[in-house]
Structure 1
Amino acid sequence: MPGRRLTFLRRALIAGVAALALSACATTRVAGPTPDYSSMPREEALSALADLTARYRANPRDRNVVINYAAALRAQAQTGQAVAVLETGIRDFPNDPEMRVAYAKALTADGRFGQALNVVDSAIRPEAPDWNALSVKGAALDQLGRNGEARALYQQAMVIAPSEPSLLANMGLSYAMTNELTAAEHYLRQAAAMPRATSRIRQNLALVIGLQGRFDEARNIYAAELPPGEVEANMTYVRRLLTQQNRWDRIATQN
């Protein structure tokens, strides 16, 4: 029964760890960091997507437009289209490691974890690994339930990029996926306190706190990030998860 209990928790948190890993900014050669479209206000993100759609149609072989367009599509849950865009990008830029990392992100977001691992492995240079690539590989491993391997990669990435909050947050969500909520909160609090922490990180901290039954504290964090209606929706979700978890605990005790 503990395995079934952890399965539901993993499903609840799996999107969080993937989203953090996949939304982390990556430096591109020409255009600078890829924006985190998933953390933008909805109207701004949709406007950016419309602009990138037009630019991609005008020149589908513009490397930076391809990478940014795919990221904007992923932020709107258009993961299949993002994969298709990057499949074309990989054909045009077969030796570009950043294109491969972007492709692995799209595959992971689309649930194609084994393929994502193969792609991102080809982009990682053992003698000089990129923290973003390590994070993407960790996200895919976490979603496959290989949490120990994922955490080792996040730890390696943190040595390379110690000021990157998404790495600490991914570590926290990895622990949350195995129901180690104290460790999860520890890492998420560190991530949320960093200067470049996103609203998504703070909301995941609220989720982990709520799963420990500290509803007032969780509500206060959500209230600082979301409109009132969304706060209540998130609190309802937390309570539903906790009720389900407690149900599995009771069944395990009875058996």
Structure 2
Amino acid sequence: MKRVVAEGRLSPTLLLLCGLALGGCAQSLDKQPYSGEPRVERLLRMGTDAASGGDPMTAGALYQQAVQIEPNNAEALRGLGATMQRLDKPREAGEAFAAVLRMNPDDLEAGVGYAKAMIAIGRPEAAAVHLEPLVEMYGDDARVLNLAGVIQDLQARHDEAAQLYRRGLAVAPDDLNLRNNLGLSLALAGRHEAALSMLEPLTRGPTSNVRTRQNLALAYGLAGDYGAAERVALLDLDESAVANNLAYYAALREMEPSRARSAALRPDIASASSATNDKGADLILGLTLAGDSLSLGMPPVGSWFVDLGGFATAEHADARWTKLRREAGPALHGHTRLGTAADSKTSLIIGPFLDKTDAGRFCTDLDIDPCDPTRL
């Protein structure tokens, strides 16, 4: 399959964002005594220091200045892409990584970064184009195998995803994200006993956290064991949130296996979900990135979505979704398609949104009919 990346320069939005931030950065760089170190190398070193110190905005500005001086500097472009991902700017990240891939299609870091950016904007098929060759070239890289598995899960190819996760576990048997993702993939495919066997141990000992516990609750819910799902969910959530979760699990169980449930996975690449143990915490369990890892989960329940009506077949709904993504573009950023129940029609449901007002605003902006806010 031919790998294609967008042509053109970095977007004006990214240039403006970094240019504004550069005011202080450029001044501080100019004030430093000259050490004989080439200017671009100094910018890269300072950008790396800023990124390591938890300041991605400054890091991005420094990397951008390096790119302005040397537009084909792969190290600067990779650094810029990574910081844009940390700033939750996947489109800008994708542009930076794409620039590297135009020079070297086999660049591992750029290929992984570009794939993550494509996932974040709801284009797993574009991510797959660049990950498939990397899987062949770097078949012992657990990070690549994990990401490739996530892409397969997002496209409801759970058998293929499970194979990739298992290949990764053969290399890194203790990798938490691989174990988590394999468990959820098995749950989505309806292999409940295998899923629970994989996820239950993760909720004991040092691997136990909000994500592993709530993913186990999800697996119990998909298996129809709502009592166990409730017990696990109550470890982190209040009773109202747990009630919402249980209703959501029940809705997922009524959906067509694999396809609809996979569509409920929510990309959220920028940062890891909250890991607080506070009761009633606002948990966002989705596709999250922590460093170089990627893990699966489900979107928050009780969220608002919009229902774009019923279609005679899944193919008609798919065609409408493809057309909408092409026409709406940025309006869909942060939203994804939810699956449908196995009834006489195929609904097209998109979300999640912050509240009913946010969902209504989306319908107004799209100016399409039907477009009805609904809460799941």
TM bucket, shorter chain? 0.5 to 0.7
> Aligned ranges for residues 126-141 of structure 1 at < 5 Å?
126=137, 129-141=140-152
CA contact (8 A) 1:80 1:110 kept: yes
CA contact (8 A) 2:162 2:182 kept: yes
Of 141, 145, 160, the match for 2:171: 160
Q: How far apart, in 2, do the equivalents of 1:243 and 1:115 lie?
A: 30
Q: Give a deviation string over 1:24-66, Cα, whole Å, max 9, x none.
A: xxxxxx97xx99xxxxxxxxxxxx6xx4234313323364453
Match of residue 316 from structure 2: none
CA contact (8 A) 2:60 2:79 kept: no
CA contact (8 A) 2:131 2:148 kept: yes
Once the two structures are aligned, what percentage of the paired residues are identical? 26
Of 88, 94, 114, the match for 2:125: 114
Q: How far apart, in 2, do the equivalents of 1:243 and 1:146 lie?
A: 19
Of 207, 211, 217, the match for 2:222: 211
CA contact (8 A) 2:94 2:117 kept: yes
Q: How far apart, in 1, do the equivalents of 2:239 and 2:96 lie?
A: 37
Of 78, 85, 96, the match for 1:70: 85
**Bigger radius of gyration, 1 or 2?**
2
Of stretches 181-190 and 217-226 in structure 1, the one that deviates more from structure 2 is: 217-226
* Letter paired with 1:67: A
Of 37, 59, 63, the match for 1:59: 63
Relative to structure 1, is the Cα distance of residues 107 and 220 closer, same or farther in structure 2, using a 3 angstrom cutoff?
same
Relative to structure 1, is the Cα distance of residues 161 and 240 closer, same or farther in structure 2, using a 3 angstrom cutoff?
same
1:238 aligns with 2:240: no
Relative to structure 1, is the Cα distance of residues 215 and 116 closer, same or farther in structure 2, using a 3 angstrom cutoff?
same
Q: Give a deviation string over 1:62-96, Cα, whole Å, max 9, x none.
A: 644532431451xxxx5444434533454687654
Relative to structure 1, is the Cα distance of residues 156 and 223 closer, same or farther in structure 2, using a 3 angstrom cutoff?
same
TM-score by length of 2: 0.45
CA contact (8 A) 1:56 1:69 kept: yes
Which structure has greater helix proportion?
Answer: 1
CA contact (8 A) 1:86 1:102 kept: yes
CA contact (8 A) 2:80 2:93 kept: no
Q: Give a deviation string over 1:142-173, Cα, whole Å, max 9, x none.
A: 22232222211111100111111111111111
Q: How far apart, in 2, do the equivalents of 1:188 and 1:239 lie?
A: 20
CA RMSD in angstroms, aligned pairs only: 3.6
Q: How far apart, in 2, do the equivalents of 1:197 and 1:104 lie?
A: 28
TM-score by length of 1: 0.64
- The structural deviation recorded for 1:137 is 0.8
CA contact (8 A) 2:78 2:96 kept: no
Relative to structure 1, is the Cα distance of residues 145 and 240 closer, same or farther in structure 2, using a 3 angstrom cutoff?
closer
Q: How far apart, in 2, do the equivalents of 1:62 and 1:127 lie?
A: 22
Mark the runs of 5 or more structure 1 residues left unpaired by the alignment: 1-29, 36-47
Match of residue 290 from structure 2: none
